[in-house]
Amino acid sequence: MISDGDSLSLDIIYNKYINLIYKKIREFNFKDDYEDILQECLIVLNNSIEKYKDGPVPFAAFFMRNLQNKLSTIYTMKKKKKVIVSDLLVEMMDPSFSFEEYPELTKAMFEGLTPFQIKIIDYRFIKRFDVPYILKTLNIKRSTFYYELKKGIDRIKYNVEKHKIEI
């Protein structure tokens, strides 16, 4: 079921583990960046679903290890005052950032993204809409949103490295 990748299976898995994710975030006492941390955790869930192979370790244990590692890393990075997501995405989230000042950056960054991924990145990072609003506006499921967001961010990171983009 986990490796099937169909929408119904993904929704069942997301619904099953969402409360566990909330609990783990509370255990680490993340208050300031709650929505960003939740987003990171849901991306971990999506990555775990993609990478899990049936074997002696149950999916729940596999996911919990990945989630614990991610939250520990975030906690350590926050203590060291490092950024959770890539510097470029953080820069994009700054209200003073303007894509109009960087037309070549915009073109290079979004190269290879689907129009849907661009819309999700635009709504989340550029227009700064919250996740429930995006889900309602685009009429999509939470699992679809995080899957497409992860793919879009991965592609942007690839483009940043490929084109050696700096701001």
Structural domains in the chain (count): 2
Residues 96 and 154 in one domain: yes
Mean pLDDT, the chain, rounded, equals 80
pLDDT band at 103 (very low <50, low <70, confident <90, very high): low
Do 65 and 123 belong together in one domain? no
Same domain, 71 and 110: no
User: Which residues span the domain enclosing 62?
Assistant: 2-79
| Residues 105 and 149 reside in one and the same domain | yes
- Is the same domain home to 51 and 118? no
- Contacts of the segment 107-115: beta carbons below 8 A, 24+ positions apart: 108/159, 108/163, 108/165, 109/156, 109/159, 109/160, 109/163, 109/165, 110/156, 110/159, 111/159, 111/163, 112/155, 112/158, 112/159, 113/152, 113/155, 113/156, 114/148
The residue-averaged pLDDT of 122-132 equals 83
Q: Is 164 left (phi over 0), alpha (psi -120 to 50) or beta?
A: left
pLDDT at residue 28, rounded to an integer: 82
Which DSSP category does 123 fall into? Answer: I
Last residue of a domain, one of 79, 107, 125: 79
Q: Note whether 11 and 59 are same-domain residues.
A: yes
pLDDT at 151 over 80: yes
Q: Are residues 102 and 65 in the same domain?
A: no
Cα(115)–Cα(28) distance, integer angstroms: 36
Same domain, 101 and 157: yes
Average pLDDT for residues 43-60, to the nearest whole number?
87
Whole-model pTM above 0.85? no
108, 134: one domain: yes
What is the per-residue pLDDT for 82? 40
- Tell me, yes or no, whether 93 and 56 share the same domain: no
Last residue of a domain, one of 52, 79, 106: 79
Same domain, 62 and 100: no
